[in-house]
Each structure stands twice: as C-alpha cells, then as structure tokens.
A and B are shown apart, each in its own frame.
Chain A
Amino acid sequence: MTAPVEHSATVSPPVIRRLIDGGLIGALAIAVIGAAGYYLFPNNLALLTRMTAMALLVLSLDLVTGYCGVATLGHAALFGAGAYGAGIAAAHFGISEPLTMTLIGAVAGAVAGLVAGFVILRAHGLAQLVLSIAVIHLFHEAANKASRWTGGSDGLSGIMPNAVFGLFEFDLWGQTAYIYGLALLILVFVALKILVRSPFGMLARGVREDPVRVGAMGVSVHSVLLRVYVISGAVAGIGGALSAISTQVVGLDSLSFTLSAEALVMLVLGGTGSLYGALIGTIVFMFFEDTLSAINPFHWLTIIGALLVMVVLFAPKGLYGSAVALVGRFRRRQA
C-alpha cells in the first residue's frame, strides 16, 4: 500500500478504497496504457513486450528491495532462471505450450529465489551486497559452462511456443506475444496488490522498517525474507519465461550483473516500495534507453548516470514517490 492510498483513504468512501487497494484501478491503468501502446507503436511491439517482461523483473525486485529493504545487485539470477527454465523445457523437452512454459519459468524462478535468498540473507550490509553480486556471476558462469543445455554464449535457440490456448499463434509482428505479456503483467500486478496488503505483506514492510521489532513480535525475520525471495523469484521467473516465449531465444545477458543493476536503477527511478513506482520506472527507463541509445549508446549512459545522481540527490523517493509527495503537499495546503 502506498502513500496516496493512505491519503485518499481518509477522504474516499470505503468502496473506492477497496477497489484501489485491490489493484483494480492499477490493472485498468495497465490495460489502458498497454492498449495505447499497441495502437501508437504497432511497429515496436517487440520493445513493448520487452518492457512487460522487464516490468515483471522490476516488480519482483521491488518486493525484495522496496518492501523488505534488502539491497541486491543480483536479482537477474531469478529472471534468468525463469527464462532458461522455460527455454530448456521447450528446446530440450518439447514442452512448448506457453502457459506450461510460463509455469515452469515461475517454478524455476522460485527455486532460484530460494537458493539466492539462502546465500544472500545470511549476511547484512556490504557483505550482503557482495554476496548478491557473487550469486549473479556464479549463475552466469554456470549457465555459460552448461552450454549443452543453455547454448552457452551463443544463446539458447529452438524455442517454438505453441499457440496460446491452441488459438492464438505467435505471429511475426509480436501481437500475440505482446497481449500475452500484458495479460500476465495485469494478473501478476493484481496478485501482488493483494499480497502487499495482506498480513504477510504488512510483515514484510515491518521487516523493512525495523527487523528487531518484528523479531520481538515472535516472528522469524529470516523466514519472512526467505519466503519473500521465493515469491519474488516466481514473479521474476514469469518475466523470464515471457522473455523466452516472446523472443524465442535466451541469452546469457538474462543472467547478468548488468541486467540486475539496470533493474535496480529502474526501480529507484520510479520509486521503491510501490508497485506503481516499479512500473513507471521501467517504462521511463526503457523508453529513453530505446530512443537515446539509438542515437549513441554512450550519450545514453551519460544521461542515465546523471539522472540517477539527480534522483538520489533531489528525489530519493523516485518519480512516482515524489509526485505522490507533491500531490499530498498540495492537498494539505488546500485543506
């Protein structure tokens, strides 16, 4: 639950509050923006689908970093596990039914989340950060070595997903892939909205605010974090599976430190601890990346670097968080 919800809660009738909390408005917004993207950029659906997969990764990172306060630079391990899980199922085992592939991706991501969480959550501070970095590199090198299964640095190809529900073929323009991705994103978003306002979601926020207090309430902080990691892994895994299904290849870059760092940058750009922030950060980052890096990749790096410094200095709550704070201040002045 985010600040605006709290604010509007005091003024709006309970029915509207419930709709907002339940994520219906968010789901609707994603659908509307998604449809707009579909009609505005019909030739760029591949980018939009990539955005959707990335949004799932950033949402997943938000659970760990935004809601629980764990700083990690290795979250792509969970995304990559999902991508390879779904890709290997299709390329080596002939499981090319997209829903099954997605499910396999979610399970693979959850398992990777369990492993990564097991390693990372034992430590704190700098040690934790370094462990997260080591985990993503270890996953990367392991995937590179297991080239018989993963295709190594050439990437895993031969992924030919069937039609969705046996009806909608994955077409050359990526229309089916985009709509499939959008549907996944909406479902996951609603599920996460329910999760973060559930008792367990409150517990997770409690861990971020003060783990000692949570412990004094008789809760094992470590087990809460590990469970969040598993859930987060499933979400990232769905994103990875979507990436495998839509691009029909899985590359080692899906298990890279760079992707992990980029996801963190997107999250912070949008604002941590809010699902909307995660989505907005992803869209803004990827849109500008696509536009600017087409001109010159190094200009893009300079601009995103400067933007990051600006956000840290002047808008630590991110774009969404700062906007919410502004609206709140404006409302309070009016009241």
Chain B
Amino acid sequence: MSTLFEVRNLRKNFGGLAVTNDVSIGLAPGDRVALIGPNGAGKTTFVNLVTGNLKPDSGNVFLGNEDITTLRAAERVRRGLIRSFQVTRLFLDMTPEEHVALAILQREGQAGRVVGHYSGRPALMQEVREILHQFGLLELSNIKAQEIAYGQQRLLEIALALALRPKVLLLDEPAAGVPQSETARIEAALKRLPADLAVLMIDHDMDLVFRFAKRVIVLAAGTVIFDGLPKDVIADARVREAYLGNYADAGSVA
C-alpha cells in the first residue's frame, strides 16, 4: 500500500545524547501501529519532533508527498497530522459540544469569524451530534468539561482529534490514568475509528497494544529496534534485552 506518512532518518541530540537516533517509520492509510518502548526510550521526543513542537537536527518528515519537516506545528495540523495528549488537555470551562464545534469550525477555516454562533448552523450541529454520539458523549453535550468523568474527558480528547478529520492520528497513551472499568469504552471507540485513517498509538499498556495494533514498533535508547507483527515482538531478543536488561539472560525471573 502507498505510504501516507513517513519519517526518514530522524535525529535529535540533547547535549550530545542522541534522544532520537536515525529513526525511520512509514504509515499507510488504515494502519494501526503501536509505538512502544521502555521509559526514557525517546517516545515523547519522537512525538514532539513529528508534530513540529521540536526541531530535528537532521532527517525528514513527509505527509503524503509533501516534506513537512520545516512546517510549524499549526501548519501540520491543518494538513491532517493530528495528535492527542497523554495528559488531557481540554477547555475546562467549555462543554463537549463547544469543543467539537470549535474543532469543526477550525477545520472549515471558520474559527476566525467574529459574528454568529455555531448553534445556528444545522449541518455543523448535525456533525457535532454524530461525533458526540459516536463516543457516547451526547448526553453530556452541555456540561462543562471540568464536571465530566476522567474517562469521558479522555473520550472527548479523541473526539476532538477526530473532528479535525485527521489523515494521520497520533494517540499518546489514550487510556492513561483511566480506571480499568472504563478502558473498555475507550478501546471500543478506538475500534470505530475511520478505516482509512492511519493511527500511531504510543502506549505502555501491552494488553491495549496487542488488542489494537496490527503492527508494533519498539523504540529503545532513541533507536527503532523492532518493527513487525505483534506476535513476534515478545520473542524478539533485542526487545527482551531492552525491557528486561540482564534479566533476559537469567532465564526464569521467578
């Protein structure tokens, strides 16, 4: 399948330490890829390089056929490279309806309008309701974000990203901090993401990763050490080494 999103030889040093070391990754439409790695592997830096919040020392980022390496973060978003945040970032004083409406307005280039109200636009309201319904948030439409449960805030976070109609979606630990009882709802929402969307999920939660991802990439010390099928990842010696260190050689850990 054609490549929709590609990272080529991306490199970033912090004071001589290569935090991202020659990373290359490609995503095609419809991909469901998980990026995992032990703490300090450089996952957060990688996300920031891709979204444009950090400048790489060398290497390129492509979206479609376009080299977006030098574009600012906001420009990348407008081209369809959307991210969600590990720690929920919502407008606590606004309702889910307002969140989604604002995202749609921004997508349509209407967010700079100084008159009118979104509720006066039936087509927009229809889409807002559909998206909120899809995430089971329709009943909470008019309650301020600070008053809804954390699990629902996480869902709204994803809904917000989706309302921007991404081509590539970076999900940064979508279920982080959510009680076990509610993760199922987030998983269900992830399952219903548009089929042609390319998704890169960054996560620690192996259960979630194995249920969601069709492909797993393992990052350790800034380098990609594995890129392949989920079933092969556990058996991979380098991955075991990266996660378990010396224990991997010691046989049974018990």
| Chain A interfacial positions (CB closer than 8 Å to B) | 6, 9-10, 21, 194-195, 197-203, 205-206, 209-210, 212-213, 215-220, 227, 231
A interface: dominant SS: helix
Hey, what's the 0/1 contact readout for B59-93 against A, CB within 8 Å counting as 1? 00000000000001111111000110100011111
The contact sample of 16 A-B pairs, CB cut-off 8 A, is A6-B142, A9-B142, A10-B142, A198-B115, A200-B112, A200-B114, A202-B98, A203-B112, A205-B91, A209-B90, A215-B73, A217-B102, A217-B103, A217-B164, A218-B75, A219-B111
Partner of B74, one of A195, A197, A200, A218: A218
Within the complex, the shortest CB–CB distance from A91 to chain B, in Å, comes to 33
For the complex, give the distance between the alpha carbons of A218 and B103 in Å: 9
Check A199 against B111 for contact (C-beta < 8 Å). Answer: yes
For the complex, give the distance between the alpha carbons of A220 and B116 in Å: 21
Interface size class of B (residues with CB under 8 A): 35 or more
| Residues of chain A lying within 8 A (CB to CB) of residue B105 | 199, 202
Within the complex, the shortest CB–CB distance from B98 to chain A, in Å, comes to 6
Check A194 against B91 for contact (C-beta < 8 Å). Answer: no
For the complex, give the distance between the alpha carbons of A200 and B85 in Å: 23
For the complex, give the distance between the alpha carbons of A150 and B13 in Å: 55
Whether B113 sits at the interface, judged by CB under 8 Å, is yes
Check B106 against A218 for contact (C-beta < 8 Å). Answer: yes
Check B116 against A198 for contact (C-beta < 8 Å). Answer: yes
Whether B212 sits at the interface, judged by CB under 8 Å, is no
Within the complex, the shortest CB–CB distance from A213 to chain B, in Å, comes to 4
Whether B110 sits at the interface, judged by CB under 8 Å, is yes
Check B113 against A219 for contact (C-beta < 8 Å). Answer: no
Whether B118 sits at the interface, judged by CB under 8 Å, is yes
**Nearest B residue to A200 by beta-carbon distance?**
B114
For the complex, give the distance between the alpha carbons of A209 and B90 in Å: 8
Partner of A209, one of B72, B85, B92: B92
**Nearest B residue to A231 by beta-carbon distance?**
B114
| Residues of chain B lying within 8 A (CB to CB) of residue A10 | 142
Within 8 A of A (CB), among B97-130: 98, 101-103, 105-107, 110-118
Within 8 A of A (CB), among B29-46: none
Within the complex, the shortest CB–CB distance from A83 to chain B, in Å, comes to 25
For the complex, give the distance between the alpha carbons of A209 and B113 in Å: 20
| Residues of chain B lying within 8 A (CB to CB) of residue A198 | 113-117
| Residues of chain A lying within 8 A (CB to CB) of residue B92 | 209-210
Check A203 against B83 for contact (C-beta < 8 Å). Answer: no
For the complex, give the distance between the alpha carbons of A125 and B111 in Å: 27
Whether B94 sits at the interface, judged by CB under 8 Å, is yes
Partner of A200, one of B93, B103, B111: B111
Partner of A219, one of B101, B106, B142, B160: B106
Within the complex, the shortest CB–CB distance from A294 to chain B, in Å, comes to 40
Partner of B89, one of A216, A218, A227, A231: A216
Within the complex, the shortest CB–CB distance from B91 to chain A, in Å, comes to 4
For the complex, give the distance between the alpha carbons of A194 and B120 in Å: 13
Partner of B111, one of A21, A203, A213: A203
Within the complex, the shortest CB–CB distance from B103 to chain A, in Å, comes to 6
Check B117 against A210 for contact (C-beta < 8 Å). Answer: no
For the complex, give the distance between the alpha carbons of A244 and B117 in Å: 35
Check B114 against A195 for contact (C-beta < 8 Å). Answer: yes
Partner of B115, one of A9, A194, A209, A212: A194
Check B118 against A210 for contact (C-beta < 8 Å). Answer: no
Whether B144 sits at the interface, judged by CB under 8 Å, is yes
For the complex, give the distance between the alpha carbons of A219 and B108 in Å: 12
Check B113 against A199 for contact (C-beta < 8 Å). Answer: yes
Check A197 against B117 for contact (C-beta < 8 Å). Answer: yes
Within the complex, the shortest CB–CB distance from B70 to chain A, in Å, comes to 16
For the complex, give the distance between the alpha carbons of A215 and B77 in Å: 9
For the complex, give the distance between the alpha carbons of A9 and B119 in Å: 13
